[in-house]
Every structure is written in C-alpha cells, then in structure tokens.
Structure 1
C-alpha cells in the first residue's frame, strides 16, 4: 500500500514506500549497472517475458512480468535508450504492479495489445507515475475488476495529453488519491465508468480515498489539471476533496482560466484545426451539446458549486466543460447547375467548425441528360469563418460517367470526422459515421461491461419504449471483438450495433419533404441552426405537419430547413419524416 509523503505546507503526495521525492518530482529507485545490449533480443527476461529492443522500441513478449525490472533494463532506461514500449498479447501483469512502468522519463509511448492479462492485479499504485515524456496512453484493454489501489497512478505525467481509462471497473478501489495529479497537459478525461463510492467512504486522517484525485496546488506545489477542459462523470463518479485554505490553495479541478476580457484559446483533438475560446471561470454541463462545444446545461458559478457537484452522485452520465464563447459551425453548399446557371439537382449542405478540414471530392453526381464540365471552388480545404459554395457545372444533353459512392451497411460504422455525408434525393451515398454520434434503442437492449456479450457481463437493461421516450446513447467509437463482431462504445460500457436493435437518433437523408411532430411536448422552430432557447421563433404541437426543403448536417446530428427558412431538429424522438 502507499504511504503519505509531505510535499510542502499542508500538501501531500501519495506514493509507494519504494519511491522517493526530490523537490516536486517523484522518481523510482533504480540500481544502475553497466550498459547492456541495445539492439535485437536483449538476452535476459523481465519475469519470464523475453525482451527485444529496436531503434528505441522495447517489445515485451508474452509471459509473466514481475514487479522488479532486471538490472540491464534499468540501465537502458537510465541512459535514455528506450523511448517507446510495446506490450504484446499474452503478457500477464503482476498482482502488485506498483511502480511497474514508473519513472521512465525518456519514454514517449506505451502501447498494450488486446489480450494482455491484468485480471489478477490488485495494486496499481504509481503504475505510470512520473513518466514525464509520455504523451498518450490507451488502457482500454485493462481489466481492473480486482484492483483496490490506484493511488498516484498517473501522478506527474506532465506531458500526457490523451488518456483512455473509459473502461475501468473501479468498484473495488478504495484509494485514488492523487491519481491524475500533475498530469497538467490532459485535455479531456472520461470517468463515466468509474464507481468511486468505496473510495469516498475510505476515510483516513479526515481525507477520503479520492483526495487530490483531480489535482491540487499550494505552497511550491502545482499539480493542477490546468488544460483539462472536458470531464465526463458517471452516475457513481463521486469525488471529494478537503477544504481549501491558505496553504492548500486549490483541491481538485481548478477554475477555467479565461475571462471575458482575456479569453483563453484551447483546442479539441476531435476537431483538428479548430480554435475554441474559454471566456470565464465557470464549468458548464454540456446539456444538448454532443461534442462539448456550445454547452446548454447548468452553469456551476463558483468553486464551491463545482466541488458540491463532484461530491454527489447523479442520475445519469454528465459531461462538464469550460465556459465558452459560442462556436458556430459554418457551411459549405454544393451547388449543381447547368451552363446557364440553372439548378439541376438539390444542393448539399455540410457544416464544420472553422479551421477543420473538408473533402468533397466524391460528391460529383451522375445526372441524367447532363455531362459534367467543371468545378468552381476547391474540393478540399478547411471550413472558413463565412459560408462557402462549391459549384459543379454540367453541360446539357449528355450522360455523365461519374460513378457515385458505394453505400455501406449502417451496422458497419466507419469513423470519418472530415468527410460530410451527401443528402441529395435519389443519389446513392456513402454512409460514414462521424464520432461521437447518438443512437437510440429500437428494442429492449443491454449494456455490457466488455465487447464480449455474455449474461454475466450485463450492466443494465433498457426496455423498449415509444419512440419519443426511447433510451439514447452517445457512441464514442466502434470496436470489433475477438469474433469480428462490431460493438458500440458508450458511456460506461458497450452496446450492440445491430440495426434491428439500434438506430441513428437523427434522420440523415434529404429525400424527405414532409415533417410531422410526434413528441407530446412538441418542438420549436428556430431562426438558426443552433437550436438554443434564444433562437426559438414558434412552437409546433404534436401532430403538426410542415414542409421541408433541405437538410443541414452537424456531424451526425441534423437540422431540417423549412419552407419559411426556419430550422427544426431531425431528432427521431421529436419528428417523423415522409417523402411526400
């Protein structure tokens, strides 16, 4: 188990007793021996795992690891000759994995194949602590069901920007003290699968097992998650921290850094090239926002409000983000005209945040009676801050020869965040899913703990409901299991991709011409694609039918354009659509 180490006035760090503290840096003790072989098979084992080193990449072969590294390996780490680690399928981690990959200051990447065995691990204290060059870490293959201690697991990983712990089972964990403290470059964190109730109940010296889990600052210590702008919390993700005082300036998540006068720019890895602006200290629930931008939920207007929010369970998974300047998406319209400028096919409209890339190279259409002539505008580039139009010009009285895109089966999703989805009536289209997107349960479905669907792995049952009351899931990725079957990764687990059971929440096609409101609460027309309260212009009661003329895509979410120019949601819980 870990011990408490004083780190300055009123502050503590949490590490195993085999670790030492030097200033604010924690390093694993190492026995240094003469430099050993640095290329090919190393000629010795870690536990009974063979080791191979090639151009700085250490490959750990199948076998049982032990908690103690061989001296030759310690030497290679101390000399900076290992810059990446790959752990192959069949490697079994030791029951006590304390400090197992800690203090590897020259390692920028550690990857784990599916099929590694962590099922017997009970202690992950400081497992990756002080890996100061590590930039990303995906632990989705970890089985943490039997783990009881995750103290300081990622503490001091100051270069870590991306961390996947979204499948962690933490029901038996009693200490997560300082778990993410000092991972100052983390931008987002998905804790939706975390059940921290046992950790919160574990009180020692008036501190719970989640103390400083999300960082702290005071005295000469600054282990705050300063760049974390997005955090997802499950119903049982409860985090408590001690009261702040003159020595302990901040315990837990800090305020957002920006102000109205001095907004702070930040980026989102899901939208490369886009720049977003934080303009206040508050955290906000995302509400109806799918991607974390333009949040519409509850605003937490003080540090105490934030701490109170984290300290209580909630009825469902929620995501908090920094307060932000509204970030409207801009549109690209694909126009199809003849040589006289007459429209010969319905336009296609796509949207994206300014600075993100687009590629519409595959959206030249086959139009009977016309031959393609030329394109006016660039088929690839980035979304501008103003609407753009790309024109496909055709010549009369000839048959084009362009082959349209081939349709894909909706149950076989293909992630694509840059290529828009065509919506022109009557044209074959390629269905490409832009993660994240929302789906709903058509029938009774189950959420499972892993991608291998067994009754023993079921977490929750979702009973079939009328469409306006259906269960909705946000899909973060699609994953194949060992049998090659696709599963959707959602908050806290996995669901089926079978289109008989699961459907896209938003209507996608532009072929529909009539929209009918089906939700008992009705729906609002909006004067903008951003369906915020201040843009509402008219309420439509259940049973109301209106005509639509176009569809606008925001990722996999849609808005339909009415004949009066207003917008209405394409959410299937609210509307049904017909072709005439």
Structure 2
C-alpha cells in the first residue's frame, strides 16, 4: 500500500470513528454533568442553559470534515467530530446545552466537549425545522444616572420566542444571577426588559458623620455574591447547603410528581444531604428554586443535578457564618485543628466526638468558613461536624 493511499485510508477511518463515537456517546451521555458552573465572576465567564428536549444540531460540512471541539472555557481540544451534510442532523440528544462565552455561542455535544456555533452549524427543533426569529440578548452596564460605564454586550441567543420561550427565560434568569465586576463600582441591582439585562452600579461610599462620600478605589471591586431578592434569603452561588427536612430533587423548577427524580429523606444532623448551589430559577408561580449539584460523596446520588426548594425552612447553609461562641464536636470520627485557615498542613490537635470548644471568631475561606478557637487554631465550621452549644 502506497503512502498516499494509506494516508487517505487513515483519514477516512478517523472520520468514521469520530462519527460513530459521537453518535453512540450522545445516546447515553448524562448531559446534566456540566462543567460550566463558574458564572459568578467578571463578565466573560460561561452561562449555560438547557435547549428544548429533542434539539438537533445539523453539521453542514461534507463527509470527512472535522469540527473542532472546545472545553467549557472555550479552550480548543485535540478531539473533533466529523461532519456529513448528507446525513445531517447527525447530533441529537434530549438536552443539548447552550453555552455563552463573551458573546460566542457553543453547544455541548459530549461531556465537557463543546461545538462552537458558526455558519456550518445549524440548530434545529425536534421536528428538524430551524427556529425562527432568533432573539438577541443584550447586557448593559449603567451607573445611577443610567449612563453606560462599560460597553454593552450583545449576542444572538439563537432562540425562537415562540418555541423556546421557557429556555430563553431560564437563560435570562441565569444572567440576572451573575455579578459582573466593573472597576471602581459596586453592583447594586439587575433587571430585565425585552431581552435586555441591565446591571446597575454605584460608586462605593463611606459615611463621615451625616455625610456620605463616594470613594475612588484603586482596585477593581469584585464580588461573587448573587443578587438576592429582598424578601427571600438566598444562598450564594457556589456555597454549600444542606436539607433539614424531607425534600425532593426535580428536573424542572416546576415541582410535580412527573418532574421529581428522588426524595431526600429527613436525617440526623451528621447525615443530612448536602448540595452546592450552582444556579437559580423560578417556577411558573414565581417560587425561587436552587439549581444544585449533589455532594453526598458516599451516596449513589453523588453528583446528580436538579432543582430543590429554596425555602429556608427546608434548606440552610452547611457552614456557620456567625460566631456560635461555643461548639460541640458531633462528628463520629472527631475533627482536626490546624494552624492554617486552609485546614491543610501540620495537624495541631485532634478533638474527639463530644468535645466542647470555645470559639473566638469565624473566618471566611473562599466560599466556606472556619471557626477560630480560643487558642488560635482553625477547625471546620461544617454543621454536620459541629453544633452550637
């Protein structure tokens, strides 16, 4: 076999294997396993949303053409998917994900593999028809007087207002929850109207007696706390919560028997089910829901995603955020004390279950907290391991 013929055979084999792998994997992939969760820092990070069930991606290039794949941050991967216009649509799944990064649109076609939208990729509905009237979403950044303090960001969401209204609303809810940082300003609020999300900012202020003075910070004012509704206690995105009563996990913010995946039964404090908040949504009746990832590492439910209630009667923070003054160790294995707030490095002491300890402060570490003991040592503030006394 000549080198030229071998090369052609090899390329054809790669193309065939790529198509076969893509189609077989899409049939079984758990598309709820998103890698794009970090939407709570400066603008340009990812925002993801489910496309309607049965959505299709039509790959318009000839057979053998390889479409490059990206990871959830937009980085080019070494893998690709072969396209074939004659057999399109070739990629289909119950829930293709939409991912927006700095105005670019990507579609999740495999776990942690995203296909960038361009003229060679067409999004179709479950009937194989192209959505009509694509919606342009715009993000604006204004000061207290309504003046733009940063250029607006506009991208084509590639939704139809008639067929994809629910998905579009979910994406807009996600956008309302992020907190883009603008140098020299604090984010005050966010609102939406006619597919325009407007973030309102103000100069940081300090109080001097009866006078309030605007400050001019030298560093960017960055926060990772989502904007809570005034009447609803909202857990910060990225933080851990646990269930204090029986709750359900649902595939939709509209809770029903049909959308319920499983029940989490009420358990003793040490064994309460734990979750990380990765997003927000509201039901048709306006009830706030948490979009969560299950972090019960020794359970069969570990890493599941879905929606749970945000009612503080049923779920609350997994960590103490105010000084409990005195705590008792309730972990069956006890817990360790450390010199560093990271709880890494040399262990200073091990406290057995039942030990009562004096707490002089609560220290924030990332999106968690630590308890500072009277001797200056650090221990976890996890409520499944310690309890206020």
Larger strand proportion of the pair: 2
Q: Which has the higher contact order (CA 8 A, sep 6+)?
A: 2
Scaled by the length of structure 1, what TM-score is found? 0.33
Which structure: larger Rg?
A: 1
Scaled by the length of structure 2, what TM-score is found? 0.47
